[in-house]
Amino acid sequence: MPIPARHRPPACWLFCTVIDNFGDIGVSWRLATMLSAEWQADVYLWLDDENALRALCPDLPALPCTYKGIHLNRWQEGRHADGLHRAAPPDYIIETFGCRLPEAVEHHARRPDTWWLNWEYLSAEPWAEAMHGKASLLSDGSTKYFWLMGFSEKSGGLLREKSYTVPDSAALSRWRAALPIPPQNGSPEWLLFGYRSTVWPQWLAAWQTLGRPLTLLLAGHQITDSLRQAGILPADALHTAGSSFALGNIRLIRLPFVPQSEFDNLLHHADMAVVRGEDSFVRAQLAGKPFLWHIYPQDEAAHLPKLDAFWQLAAPYYDATVFRAHQALSGEINGSEKLDDTARTAAWHTLMSQYTCWQDSTHRWSAALHAQPSAVEKLAKFCGQG
Ligand code: TRH
């Protein structure tokens, strides 16, 4: 598909502020690498926290630098961006998640031949679909467009690389064996990447009650912190990557933070995943894995309509029994439902005993997403028609 541009390759300027954790930079980096690979664009990414990107890309040199073909510079939101004079004049300026551009950048953004986009947080809510692609006309006559990623044809799509592939099982086994963690012991392995919550000790107790051997691969520190705080783990347990701790039938392993380029392997390897935020949530869906979404909690429970809107879309692809059990647990982890011990254990029992049905449900949903164009393909079309 031809990319409209004043020159070839098109120049894309992206700006990212890191609020917390890894989602803002995770999405920005993925978008930057996709534009570079799929449009052969000259991509510039300005960021305010290079250590956040270094967590995802451990071999990242000091900034400024060109890394994996992306020109990386520092900036301070709304104030100053380094290295503007070294960058090719932009065909596209993308401010991720409503960050405020410095005046010197806005000057470029206001040019009539520059596409100026506000790349917003992902949402399945109807207002997001309605808002996607809308132009906001600014007082000086320039135009900024809203880009809202989502799950439907009318939305801004998802970040799914053209090169996305499912690794073959032999390669995945070799990858798992090379991780600096204890080897597989034949039990199902669940990836848990969630936020701090008082629900974790309760879920652990439910999994113990079910009596089946299980390995929990704990990513990040928040779940481990929650278990330690609840007194379930001794103070010195699971502090270092690769350490493990057994609680009856459950083996807990603290994972090292893997490069983002390997994060999909974690998901493809796992039998079930708890994911969070935005990017890990999308990747679990693309992987077609049974998953629970621990949504990023917002003030005044603003995350709950977002959670509901997503599950309303996905519901028709799910087996009804699996969906009911799943929704009870999803409600509990996300704070919209309280379960007693019996109801919680029953819900987990259903999901475990109906695992194949759960897997079929997530495969169907994943196939529907893979059938749609990606966000970057949609953007090319949008700008070509604009
Ligand atoms: O880290 P997150 O919780 O990020 C965010 C931010 O908190 C943000 O402010 C909020 O608005 C947003 O969520 C909704 O979750 P997320 O989005 O899943 O990002 C995690 C990234 O980290 C993702 O790109 C995958 C990557 N990752 C690795 O590369 N290696 C790892 O080992 C792990 C566990 C994650």
Tens-place pLDDT, residues 141-161: 899 999 999 999 999 999 999
**Mean predicted lDDT score pLDDT of the chain:** 96
Contacts of 129 (CB under 8 A, 6+ apart): 148, 150, 152, 154, 155
pLDDT for 6: 60
Contacts of 220 (CB under 8 A, 6+ apart): 193, 194, 257
CB atoms inside a 10 Å sphere around CB 27: 23
Q: What is the mean pLDDT of residues 181-199?
A: 98
Mutation test of ligand 1: which of 16, 18, 22 has the most ligand atoms closer than 8 Å to its C-beta?
22
Nearest of 105, 106, 99, 56 to residue 82 by alpha carbon: 105
pLDDT at 263 over 90: yes
CB atoms inside a 10 Å sphere around CB 32: 26
Please tell me the distance between residue 212's alpha carbon and the centre of ligand 1 in angstroms: 30
pLDDT at 287 over 90: yes
DSSP 220-278: SSHHHHHHHHTTSS-TTTT-STT-EEEETTEEEEEPPPPPHHHHHHHHHH-SEEEEETT
Ligand 1 atom nearest to 278, measured from its CA: 17
pLDDT for 7: 60
pLDDT for 8: 75
* Angle subtended by helix axes 279-287 and 23-39, to nearest 10: 60
Q: What is the mean pLDDT of residues 135-140?
A: 92
Ligand 1 atom nearest to 18, measured from its CA: 9
Active site residues: 24, 278
DSSP 290: -
pLDDT for 2: 41
pLDDT digits (tens, 9 = 90+) for 200-225: 999 999 999 999 999 999 999 999 99
pLDDT for 5: 57
CA of residue 211 relative to chain centroid, distance: 32
Q: What tokens appear for 326 in the block?
A: 């799943």
pLDDT for 385: 41
pLDDT at 98 over 80: yes
Nearest residue CA, atom 14 of ligand 1?
277
Please tell me the distance between residue 279's alpha carbon and the centre of ligand 1 in angstroms: 6
What percent of the chain clears pLDDT 90, i.e. is strictly above it?
A: 96
User: For tokens 């995943």, what's the residue?
Assistant: 273
Mutation test of ligand 1: which of 280, 282, 286 has the most ligand atoms closer than 8 Å to its C-beta?
280
pLDDT for 47: 98
Cis peptide before 213 (omega within 30 of 0): no
Mutation test of ligand 1: which of 279, 298, 306, 334 has the most ligand atoms closer than 8 Å to its C-beta?
279
CB atoms inside a 10 Å sphere around CB 367: 11
Q: What is the mean pLDDT of residues 124-148?
A: 95
pLDDT for 249: 95
Please tell me the distance between residue 219's alpha carbon and the centre of ligand 1 in angstroms: 11
Maximum pairwise Cα distance, the chain: 66
pLDDT for 386: 35
Q: What is the mean pLDDT of residues 312-329?
A: 98
Residue-level length of the chain? 386
Q: What is the mean pLDDT of residues 6-10?
A: 76
pTM value is 0.97
pLDDT at 356 over 70: yes
User: For tokens 């692609």, what's the residue?
Assistant: 133
pLDDT at 4 over 70: no
Burial 342-363, CB ≥16 within 10 A → b, else e: ebbbebbebbbebeebbbbbbe
Nearest of 268, 82, 89, 245 to residue 167 by alpha carbon: 268
Please tell me the distance between residue 180's alpha carbon and the centre of ligand 1 in angstroms: 21
pLDDT at 102 over 90: yes
**Cβ < 6 Å from ligand 1: which residues?**
19-24, 26, 56, 193, 219-220, 257-258, 260, 263, 276-281, 296
